[in-house]
Each structure stands twice: as structure tokens, then as C-alpha cells.
Amino acid sequence: MAGEPSLSPSRRESRQEALVVAGVLVVAMAIIALLVPYALPMIGVELIAALMIVVPPALAGLWLVPVFRLGPMPLRWHLLLGAALGTGSTSILVLLLGLVGILYSYVWLVILLLMGVSGVIRLRNLLGGSDTIAGELSLPGQKGTAISPWFWLAAAPFLAAALLAASNAPGMIWRQEGFGYDVLEYHLEMPREYFDAGRIFYAAHNVYANFPANVEMLYLLAMVVQRATVDAGVTANMIHLLFAGLTVFAAAAAGRDHSRGGAVVAGATTTACLWLVYLSGLAYVENAMLFYGMVAAAMLVRAGGSADSSRSNSPRGSLLAAGVIGGLACGCKYTALPLIVLPLAVIPLAVPAPSLTRGLKRGAIFLLATAATFAPWLLKNAAMTGNPVFPLANSVFHASPPGWNEECSVRWQEGHRPVEAERPPLARMRMLWDRTLGDPLQRLAWPIAVLPIAGLFARRRDRTDGALAAVLVLQLLIWIVFTHLYARFAVVFMIPLLLLVGRALGTRAASWRRNVAMALLLVSAAWGMFFAMNLFQSEAPGGVYGGIPASAIYEGEIPGYEYLGFVNEELPADARILLVGDARAFYVRHQVDYCVVFNACPFVEAVRSAQRPDRGPAVLAWLEEKGYSHVMVHWGEIRRLRNSAYGFPEEVNRELFEDMERAGLCKAREFRLPRSEAPYITVFLVP
């Protein structure tokens, strides 16, 4: 139209990308409205609450990007690095202020407001400057690698599925994860205990509190801002989901360094990986670990440069940024160190082709920067327990903090080894297949392996391709030899695989490669969606796929959680409860004491010190002395632990409680599952 200003190619591309993102959101919400309309209000409210925790730090992180002197970069890399540095530094800030007891709602609301305002100012400067355009690639042969960005609509069903999964209160899904047992045991339980105490402390009853907890710090921040604990559980799910979205963005941004088609294929393939949907229904840490690991790996690739990708203006700055963000991945989970950071150290050694001395220096820069941002968690553990990686490597550090002894260390080591049948080498190889490409749930499905392999053999390869392949091989070896073969530990394989997917379409890819990539992308989406539907149908046979509030659990309205209605609604307000067997205290509203199975348990010690025939009166006297009004025994959990590698003390059994009943302990209520004669929960009243 005459008089209308023409848009530059980059502006037109940005406008089109915005329309595509809006289209994906609209289609995803339409799917939810069609299938589970009652879930929409909760999704809207909780997603906004999660955005309040993630977006201000991500925007404020834009101010940290220039510290690394990376030179001109596309806007997407500013946003990506800002999100990684901002969220990670906020987690560390919550840790530091939490240790000194600054967990006040008004303080953190002001901090988040200042982060948001400062971040918006920085973003406006970037949008108005030229440094974000100068770093954009000039890609020849775009016609050969062009894939319509509207292929992103294939991500909409997966976004809808992830939102539905995240809208369930913790504890509702998934069966293979014990219905979020770890979430209720420590991922959310420890932030709740920190919130209730007003500070971060050493927990002698929960060894998992000594794990690095960058993501849990954001969950704690959500509780502080909302002034709520159990009702912030869905917000925590949504925070984890947002990190899944950032992982998709990271894969697409890395792919865009090679071609526009590479961005679409890498990003859409990431969404079709069912692990992200699965993990978004759990307030775990893997989505954030994947995000930080993906950004660290992509920055290492940029530091080296290659034939068909942009070379960073500052290789040393890129190495430092990669290391800092790699340390944030380690701050999410201990396993990130052997399964992400150490394999990624291959990249600076191999790309470009330096002398051995120069390669070692580059690798040292990366690892030292990693240590810098992992250090806060190591120092916390060293100060509280005497072992910086407690409870790992305790045979080296010999730490014996309160609640821990040599017996606990032995039980920990035995409990985290593969079961006997999985220890032979051939059995471990079989487990690799069964828990990756042969996974019945297809969370790490075969299309995510076919695309990068096809990309490697259908084009000219370079040293970066070889380095990424070496990263994958190292991850596979470490997973097979040094882990206890959990399927969830294998999500790290996504990092090199997805980066290779993004490289599958180079700057001069032939049209037949583009067509093959689009076909594989559509097959991946269809394959993933089929298994996503099966997963939801098997987990929700009654047709309840999402939108379940926490109140439905802590008020006892959900089958299997009826006992919580009795405990929370019918026991006196001043009740003090001892949990035996169970360690999921998250939904119990009263004062509650528990020990996870690995910690030394005072109740078990009291039982062991009591002698027959006076065992019942002696243990009952101990309960009275400690001020307990009720004891809740989870027989089902005790059976499960005894049948696992974790074990459970044999002294705690029905005969013990029968002795205590003869001494005066009273049954307040028993709960049985349908078609089961034996109770799975018994609540006792201490006279």
C-alpha cells in the first residue's frame, strides 16, 4: 500500500514469529477448552503466578549478558542468556537470603518488581539498538532450507498436554513416579519447611535437603510471594513447565544459527519429546537442568564456531558464559556434573582444532566457570555437614552430621545401586534400550534419534558434529556404568541429540533434505501425540485429565488420600503427628515429624533400645515424652520399601504396635483400599 513503511527482513521475520507463537497458544488453549474446559481457570491463574516468578529474573538477566563481552548477537541469544543467568542468579539469591532468614513476602515482591522494571528498560535498549541485528546471520541459500514457521503448530497439542499435566495438584500423577512421591517428600516439602521456619536450615530428618536446589529455591520463592505452601504446588508445576518452554526456545535458537529451517525442526522436535510433557506434571528439576545444559552446550558450539554456524566474537566470553550456566545445571541436580558438564568439556577440547595445550586451557576456563556457580551449594553443604557433596562420596569425607551415621551411608550406597539382575554388563545394555528407545511410554522416542542421525549422514560433517556425537557417547557410557539406570536420568541425552537436529539443515541444504526433515517432523509429532494420549488415558481412566486443586487432596476427596481429610479436618488443631513409614508430609496441616528412609530415625532408635517384654510401654512412654499426640503408620509404604533396595527396619512391624496397644495406644482410624482387607494407613492416638 502506498505510503506504508516497508519492514526489513528481520522485522518481518520477528512479526511472523510472534504470530506463530500466538497461534500455538491459541490452538493449545482451544484444545484444552474442548477437552477439559474446567481446567482453564486454574491454568490461567497458576500460569500467571509462575510467570511472576520466572519473567522478572529472566528480564533482569539481560543486564548480566554484557558482562561476558560476547559482542553483537541476535536478540534471541540475549533473551536466552538473560533467562538462564537471571533465573539462576535469583535461585542463588534466594539461597543466600534464606540462610539469613530474609524470606519476607514484601521484600521479595519489591525485588521482583525492581527486576522486572530494570529488565524492561534493558529490553527496550536492545530493541532500539543495532547490536542485536549485527550479529544475525546472513544465510545464503535460504530457499533450500526454508521451512514454514507454521510447522510450529505441531507443538500446540503437546503444549496443551503439558498444561493439563501441570494443572494437577502434586501427588495426582504419574504412576511410574509413585504419583510424585519425591515431590511430596522433598522437592516441595523442604521449601515448605523453610517457609514455615522463615529460613533455610540443616534438616537432620531429610537427607535430600542437602541436594543442590536451584529449582526448589524458585518454588520457595513462589510460596513466599503467595504466602502459601500446599496451594502453591500447582504454581511449582507451572514453573517447571516454563523451563520446558525455555528448553524448546534454546533448541530453536541453536538451530537458527544454521538456518531458519533448523530452528523450526529443532524446536518442534523438542516439543514432540514426551519427556517434557511428562516432567511438566511434576515439580521436579529436570526441565531446568535440561534448559541450562542446552544453553551451555550451544554456547560452547558458538565459542568454537564451525563451517555453517556463527562464530562468537569472544570465544573466551562464550566459554565463561557456558561454564557459568553449566554450573547452574549442576545446581539443579548432582547428576548434571557427570552427565552434562563433564561430557560437554569435550567440545572446547575438539572445536576448533587447537593444540592440546590450547584445548586444555579452553576446557579449564569452562570447568572453572562451572565451579563458580556450583560453589554456593558445595559451600552450604560443607558448612552444614562437612561434606561438600553430601551424601555422595561420604567414604571420602566421612561426614556424620546429626541424623546420619555409617549405617546410613551404607544404606544409601546400597539403595542407589542397580538391582542385582541389572548389574551384569549385558543387562545394563538391555536397560539402556528398555529405558530409552524401547521405553513403553516412549518419552525418549525413536524420532529424536532418527532425525540427528539422518542429518549426520545426509550432509557434510565437521568437527562440531563429531564433538556432539562424542558428548552423546560419553553420556551413554556414564549412564550405563555409573548410575542406577533410572529412565529419568537419560533425559540428558536430549541435549546433544537436539543440537544435532538443529544442525541437520545447513545453509545450503537441498530441497529433498528439507522435505525429509518436514516429513520426519510430522511423524515425530504424530508418534509423540499417540503415546501422550495413551499416557493420559492410562493415568486418568475416569476422564479427569487436569485442573485438580490441592484442596481435593488435603481434604481427602481423592481416592487413596482419604486419610488426609481425617487428619487435617478431624484431629485437634494442636495435634503433633509422628509419621512412620511415610515421608510425604507436604499435605499434612498439623505439626508433623518424619524421617526419610535413609536418615537415622529417633523412633526406630527408641524401638531398638526398648527390651521385651516391656517394649510396648517403653516406646509409648517415649512418644509421650516427645509430645506426640498421634502416630500415623503407612503400612503400604513400609511394604514397598521392604521390597525395594531401600529397605525398612524390621523392628517396626504390626507386632510392635500391638504391644503398644496393650500398653494404652489407641486406634483412632484405619483406612483400607477397595478390595483389601488389611489397612494401608492406621492413625493411632497417644493417650
3-state secondary structure 50-111: HHHHHHHHHHHHHHCHHHHCCCCCCHHHHHHHHHHHHHHHHHHHHHHHHHCCCCCHHHHHHH
558 has pLDDT over 70? yes
Report d(CA 498, CA 129) in Å as an integer: 31
Asked if residues 500 and 455 have their Cβ atoms less than 8 Å apart, the reply is yes
Taking residues 459-463, report their average pLDDT: 78
Average pLDDT, the chain: 89
Q: Considering only residues 127 and 311, tell me which one the structure prediction assigns the higher pLDDT.
A: 127
Asked if residues 583 and 559 have their Cβ atoms less than 8 Å apart, the reply is no
The answer to which of 230-234, 301-305, 543-547, 653-657 has the lowest mean pLDDT is 543-547
Confidence at residue 311, expressed as pLDDT on a 0 to 100 scale: 45
From the CB of residue 481, how many other CB atoms can be counted at a distance below 10 Å?
9
Which grid coordinates are listed for 187? 522437592
Report d(CA 305, CA 287) in Å as an integer: 27
Asked if residues 420 and 249 have their Cβ atoms less than 8 Å apart, the reply is no
**E strand or H helix that includes residue 22:** helix 9-35
Predicted confidence band at 519 (pLDDT cuts at 50, 70, 90)?
confident
Which grid coordinates are listed for 390? 553430601
Which grid coordinates are listed for 664? 494404652
Predicted confidence band at 7 (pLDDT cuts at 50, 70, 90)?
very low
**Which letter does DSSP use for residue 670 in this model?**
E
pLDDT in tens, 271-301: 999 999 999 999 999 999 999 999 999 999 9
Predicted confidence band at 337 (pLDDT cuts at 50, 70, 90)?
very high
Please provide residue 589's backbone torsions phi and psi, each rounded to the nearest 5 degrees: -80, -20
Q: CA-CA distances (angstroms) from residue 629 to 572, 635, 670, 685?
A: 9, 19, 16, 6
From the CB of residue 640, how many other CB atoms can be counted at a distance below 10 Å?
15
Report d(CA 552, CA 337) in Å as an integer: 38
Confidence at residue 259, expressed as pLDDT on a 0 to 100 scale: 81
Confidence at residue 262, expressed as pLDDT on a 0 to 100 scale: 84
134 has pLDDT over 80? no
Report d(CA 547, CA 167) in Å as an integer: 5
Report d(CA 66, CA 317) in Å as an integer: 10
Confidence at residue 445, expressed as pLDDT on a 0 to 100 scale: 79
Helix, coil or strand: residue 406 = helix
Helix, coil or strand: residue 582 = coil
Helix, coil or strand: residue 555 = coil
Report d(CA 333, CA 107) in Å as an integer: 28
Taking residues 397-414, report their average pLDDT: 93
Side by side, which strands form the sheet with 681-685?
591-593, 576-580, 630-634, 681-685, 666-671
Predicted confidence band at 109 (pLDDT cuts at 50, 70, 90)?
very high
143 has pLDDT over 90? no
310 has pLDDT over 90? no
Confidence at residue 202, expressed as pLDDT on a 0 to 100 scale: 97
Confidence at residue 103, expressed as pLDDT on a 0 to 100 scale: 97
508 has pLDDT over 70? no
Amino acid at 496: P
Taking residues 626-638, report their average pLDDT: 96
560 has pLDDT over 80? yes
Taking residues 540-556, report their average pLDDT: 82
Confidence at residue 138, expressed as pLDDT on a 0 to 100 scale: 36
669 has pLDDT over 60? yes
pLDDT in tens, 564-595: 999 999 999 999 999 999 999 999 999 999 99
Please provide residue 571's backbone torsions phi and psi, each rounded to the nearest 5 degrees: -80, 155
Predicted confidence band at 458 (pLDDT cuts at 50, 70, 90)?
low
Place of cell 558434529: 465
From the CB of residue 574, how many other CB atoms can be counted at a distance below 10 Å?
8
Distance between first and last Cα of the chain: 86
From the CB of residue 576, how many other CB atoms can be counted at a distance below 10 Å?
17
Which residue, among 92, 583, 661, has the nearest Cα to 374 in the 3D structure?
92
Label the pairing between strands 681-685 and 630-634. Answer: antiparallel
pLDDT in tens, 159-207: 999 999 999 999 998 888 999 999 999 999 999 999 999 999 999 999 9
Which residue, among 536, 544, 533, has the nearest Cα to 39 in the 3D structure?
544
Which residue, among 313, 288, 285, 283, has the nearest Cα to 299 in the 3D structure?
313
Counting residues of the chain whose pLDDT is more than 90, the rounded percentage is 68
Residues found in the chain: 687
The answer to which of 129-143, 310-324, 656-670 has the lowest mean pLDDT is 129-143
507 has pLDDT over 70? no
Report d(CA 61, CA 508) in Å as an integer: 35
The answer to which of 84-93, 353-362, 379-388, 626-635 has the lowest mean pLDDT is 353-362
Which residue, among 512, 515, 493, 503, has the nearest Cα to 448 in the 3D structure?
493
Counting residues of the chain whose pLDDT is more than 70, the rounded percentage is 92
533 has pLDDT over 60? yes
**E strand or H helix that includes residue 377:** helix 356-385
Asked if residues 239 and 171 have their Cβ atoms less than 8 Å apart, the reply is no
CA 262 to chain centroid: 26
510 has pLDDT over 80? no
Confidence at residue 223, expressed as pLDDT on a 0 to 100 scale: 98
Confidence at residue 313, expressed as pLDDT on a 0 to 100 scale: 52
Taking residues 587-606, report their average pLDDT: 95
Predicted confidence band at 136 (pLDDT cuts at 50, 70, 90)?
very low
Query: In sequence order, what are the residues at sequence separation of 6 or more whose Cβ sits closer than 8 angstroms to the Cβ of residue 8?
Result: none
Q: CA-CA distances (angstroms) from residue 27 to 18, 41, 158?
A: 14, 17, 11
**E strand or H helix that includes residue 578:** strand 576-580
Report d(CA 386, CA 382) in Å as an integer: 4
Confidence at residue 509, expressed as pLDDT on a 0 to 100 scale: 58
The answer to which of 232-246, 264-278, 306-320, 546-560 has the lowest mean pLDDT is 306-320
Helix, coil or strand: residue 631 = strand
Confidence at residue 539, expressed as pLDDT on a 0 to 100 scale: 77
**E strand or H helix that includes residue 318:** helix 315-330
Predicted confidence band at 135 (pLDDT cuts at 50, 70, 90)?
very low
Please provide residue 49's backbone torsions phi and psi, each rounded to the nearest 5 degrees: -60, -40
Taking residues 30-48, report their average pLDDT: 95
Taking residues 390-407, report their average pLDDT: 94
Confidence at residue 146, expressed as pLDDT on a 0 to 100 scale: 67
Considering the entire predicted model, what is its pTM?
A: 0.94
Confidence at residue 361, expressed as pLDDT on a 0 to 100 scale: 92
Which grid coordinates are listed for 9? 527482513
